[in-house]
Amino acid sequence: MIETGLKDKVVIVTGAAAGIGKATARRFAREGCHVASWDVREGEAEPGGLFRQVDVTDAAQVEAAMEDAMARWGAIHVLVNNAGIIRDGQLIKYKEGALAGQMSDEQFDSVVGVNLKGVFVCTRAVTPRMIQSGGGVILNASSVVGLYGNFGQTNYVASKAGVIGMTKVWARELGKFHIRVNAVAPGFIATDMTKNMPEKILKAMIEHTPVGRPGQPEDIANAYLWLASGAASFISGAVLSVDGGVVTGT
């Protein structure tokens, strides 16, 4: 058994009310961490932790929530930038030679706001506190579509590709402060976000996953835990695909 070295560490998990975020908060709590769970929706704290409603795009809310964690535990060791949304749609739709629809500004801006700017806002806020504590780990949620693209997801793909770019920049900038920065790129994961998708699409996703099943939120939580642990102490600037060997296509 690998010793993670995470007991009593302070961990912030965004988007922690459900799905991957909830599983991640729970996994770190089981490891003996103090977990601050954030979400724009209502949720529950893990044992020994706290929950706060936070809009990750709002710098003032993020700053106040950071101060809450610092006041309670005196340090922040791990940030998991997990919060994310989807607003799918094609760039344009043409039907019978005429424009029939297009992705709206609201669709684009809302997704990029949460998935990309939210990661920036939270990381900017936590970094000085990690430096004061002697270092830390920042983990960002990307996606396999950020690596390969996906039909009907201009906004989501742009945000997740941007997360990869920011991850690599921050790994370069923050390494001298003993802060490691990595990204996780999940494949098809069974969450509330995917449960409402048409059966035909769900079946196609599983068919494109060589291991023959969707991932579970716990699969991603375990990846976050490992990247935060001492076992990954020489890994920074990496993108870890947790996707069952997914084969992308249109």
DSSP structure string for 199-227: HHHHHHHHHT-TTSS-B-HHHHHHHHHHH
Evaluate whether residue 136 is within a structural domain: yes
Evaluate whether residue 82 is within a structural domain: yes
Residue 181 has pLDDT above 60, yes or no: yes
Cα separation of 188 and 10, whole Å? 29
Residue 99 phi, psi (nearest 5):
-70, 120
Evaluate whether residue 180 is within a structural domain: yes
Say which of 94, 148, 156, 224 is annotated catalytic.
Answer: 156
- Range name among 20-24, 105-109, 186-190 with the lowest pLDDT average: 186-190
With CA atoms as reference, report the closest residue to 180 among 124, 137, 216, 217.
137
Evaluate whether residue 149 is within a structural domain: yes
Total domains in the fold of the chain = 1
- Mean local confidence (pLDDT), 175-192: 94
- Mean local confidence (pLDDT), 50-71: 98
Domain span at residue 56 reads 10-242
CATH label of the domain that carries residue 185 = 3.40.50.720
HSE, side-chain direction, 13 A CA sphere, residue 11: 36
Evaluate whether residue 248 is within a structural domain: no
Evaluate whether residue 2 is within a structural domain: no
Evaluate whether residue 250 is within a structural domain: no
- Mean local confidence (pLDDT), 193-216: 81
Contact 188, 205 (CB under 8 A): yes
Q: What is the pTM of this model?
A: 0.93
Give yes or no: 224 in active site: no
Evaluate whether residue 145 is within a structural domain: yes
SS3 49: coil
- Mean local confidence (pLDDT), 54-74: 98
User: Cα 234–245–112 angle (5° rounding)?
Assistant: 75
